[in-house]
Chain A
């Protein structure tokens, strides 16, 4: 994992001191809320429905046990004993006191964490494949590049007042586990014929009110030119962005209005200028950062055998673990989606328990997935039974990865001041309806994603089944969408028709699932069947 050097630590510590003074001035009345709000947002502090909310950045979703224990400590000491992992691999606390926020940031700084650029018109936390550094199918670990871009863009004056927020994701596998094409700027590590590393670059994606998939702007960009290319993209956006209209400020709107060809032309022209400025990082800097991500000392000669005599354990292994690049190891997915629970929420005790497991069995490393689950990236197969038992004791051995109850849901109207409707109760009711594991396994991979408003933090546009909460004359109403994907076969979901109330949407989802079961060919997922047979048979099932 990346370790702060003296400069990193000094910057973060100074930022805490600065914010402490800003909070003092606000409470003393020396500055108004209008003056203070942009300052607190630059430190990830929102005012939400019940209190202040603090969003803490988890760069590319990677945590150490020590960091997770600190997140637990903050939940226990300053919040109400829990935190909520988000779809951008961050964590949010929903019961924060303004007067304690500087102390929280000071505690976070002791474990090399902060809340900078988790809000506002900035380059947000850079996300990555949550199996990075472990996946059997990756070309190389994408996180050094994410870290390099993080360092290059944090506090960069040119990127401090962007037209709107800007989201970056990086992966290195043909399988997309980071929703690349739903980002403003996305990179997939590839190799050319000479085996040199480069990026396939995508630009102009995003969800929200107007969903667009990022388009491939460059098939191959030499890796060492990445910062110049990013600057070129940001400059073209900055030059033309509609700062006068909040609904048109995201880069996806500019790409759409200029057209992909013209946007690409302008970026390439700008890239030609920027490249000459020589602002790219020297190879030695990449190597310095990359050294922090050296693989852990994997043992060799380990057995691949797993004792499957306990059927429940065997099922958990089949569903919750995936292949690792090192022989004898597995990647373990820790479900935060207990049926009837709150997806992504985890108690301080559970955080401590997972941190203990990671320390003992996963080289002290953890990951947060954008699907709001946790990952133990490097577990010896021979230790899986002990890991399963430890997770089970903490209430974290649920089996549902990518199944119908592994639902993404944003905080919605239970917590969020922008919401139109509650997301969590809908997710809970759907999960409860499909609680039977045999039924879940029969339905197979099915990604349901719920957002409480058009901002789409719950990724409803990318759901095989998406649900969007709307306000219909003061009451909660839910629109159903079908056919979205956030994977390498990315597609925006399509609204089916009139919305439903809370119970109605659960019934509608079940009717769609049953129609799929009736129509599917062998081996087809819900999404495959939907794509093969089209919208109408599902619409007919849903609306009769």
Chain B
């Protein structure tokens, strides 16, 4: 599947395209199919996202898993600071990244 990600313009937070807006959580990301480029152009133009791009991801029961480790680290936070990840209570969060 193809999903969209970027950074929130004023805060810089990592965000994911959820179909009707942007979410902080990768599990909300939706498959954009062929509509990715058009969505990117529209959302960048409206300043709802900064430096957005399209990536490959794998659908899993827990939601999309980005194909590249860089985007998995973006999704969760630094692997060396489990206290700062988006899933601090999840003991498997770190292994999800790797």
Seen from chain A, the residues whose Cβ lies within 8 Å of a Cβ on chain B are 26-27, 29, 33, 47, 49-52, 80, 96-99, 342, 413-415, 417, 419, 422, 424-425, 428, 474-476
A33-B51, A414-B78, A414-B80 known; A49-B12 Cβ under 8 A = no
Q: Which residues of B contact A428 (CB under 8 A)?
A: 80
Is B39 interfacial (CB 8 A cutoff)?
Answer: no
- Number of B residues with CB within 8 Å of any CB on chain A: 23
Is B23 interfacial (CB 8 A cutoff)?
Answer: no
Q: Which residues of A contact B69 (CB under 8 A)?
A: 413, 474-476
0 or 1 for each of B1-15: is its CB under 8 Å from A? (1 = yes)? 000000101111110
Interface of A is mostly: mixed
B50, B70, B80 interface centre (most CB from chain A within 10 Å): B80
Is B55 interfacial (CB 8 A cutoff)?
Answer: no
A39 CB to closest chain B CB (Å) equals 14
Q: How far, in whole Å, are A143 and B80 apart by their CA atoms in the complex?
A: 36
B94 CB to closest chain A CB (Å) equals 10
Q: How far, in whole Å, are A97 and B47 apart by their CA atoms in the complex?
A: 15
Q: How far, in whole Å, are A424 and B78 apart by their CA atoms in the complex?
A: 10
Q: How far, in whole Å, are A26 and B7 apart by their CA atoms in the complex?
A: 14
Pairs across A and B, CB under 8 Å, 21 listed: A33-B44, A33-B51, A49-B14, A49-B70, A50-B13, A52-B12, A96-B12, A97-B10, A98-B10, A99-B10, A342-B80, A413-B73, A414-B73, A414-B78, A417-B70, A419-B70, A424-B80, A425-B80, A474-B68, A474-B69, A476-B69
Q: How far, in whole Å, are A529 and B52 apart by their CA atoms in the complex?
A: 50
CB < 8 Å: which of B7, B47, B51, B74 contacts A29?
B47
Q: Which residues of B contact A422 (CB under 8 A)?
A: 73, 79-80
Q: How far, in whole Å, are A474 and B67 apart by their CA atoms in the complex?
A: 9
Question: What are the 8 A-B residue pairs with the smallest beta carbon separation, nearest first?
Answer: A51-B12, A414-B78, A52-B12, A99-B10, A97-B11, A424-B80, A29-B47, A49-B74
Contact A49 B73 (CB under 8 A): yes
Q: Which residues of B contact A413 (CB under 8 A)?
A: 69-70, 73
